[in-house]
Homo-oligomer: A and B are copies of this chain.
Amino acid sequence: MVQTARERAREALTADIVETARGQLAEVGAAALSLRAVARELGLASSAVYRYVPSRDDLLTRLLVAGYESLGAAAEDADDPGLAPRDRWVAVSRGVRAWALAHPHEWGLLYGSPVPGYAAPQDTVVAAMRSAAVFGRVLGDAAYSGGLAGRAPNADRTALVGPDVTPVLGGEHPALDDDVRARAVLAWSSTLGLVSAELFGHLVGVTTDQEAFFTEQVGRLADLVGLAG
Binds B, one of A4-12, A14-22, A41-49, A199-207: A199-207
Q: Which A residues between 167 and 224 are near B, CB-CB below 8 angstroms?
A: 182-183, 185-186, 189-194, 196-197, 200-203, 205-209, 212-213, 216-217, 220-221, 224
Name which of A159, A197, A203, A206 has the most chain B CB atoms within 10 A of its CB. Answer: A206
Residues in B with CB closer than 8 Å to A183 are: 220
Query: For A203, what are the chain B residues with a Cβ–Cβ distance below 8 Å?
Result: 185, 189
Asked if residues B202 and A116 are in contact (CB atoms below 8 Å), the reply is no
- Residue contact B213 to A31, C-beta cutoff 8 Å: no
Roughly how many angstroms separate A111 CA and B113 CA in the complex, as a whole number?
8
- Minimum CB–CB distance for A110 against chain B, Å: 9
Contacts of A117 in B (CB 8 A): 28, 32
A105, B117: Cα distance in complex, Å: 12
Among A30, A109, A161, A192, chain B packs the most CB atoms within 10 A around the CB of A192
User: Counting CB contacts under 8 A, is A157 at the interface?
Assistant: yes
| Alpha-carbon separation in the docked complex, A191 to B190 (Å) | 7
A145 in the interface (beta carbon within 8 A): no
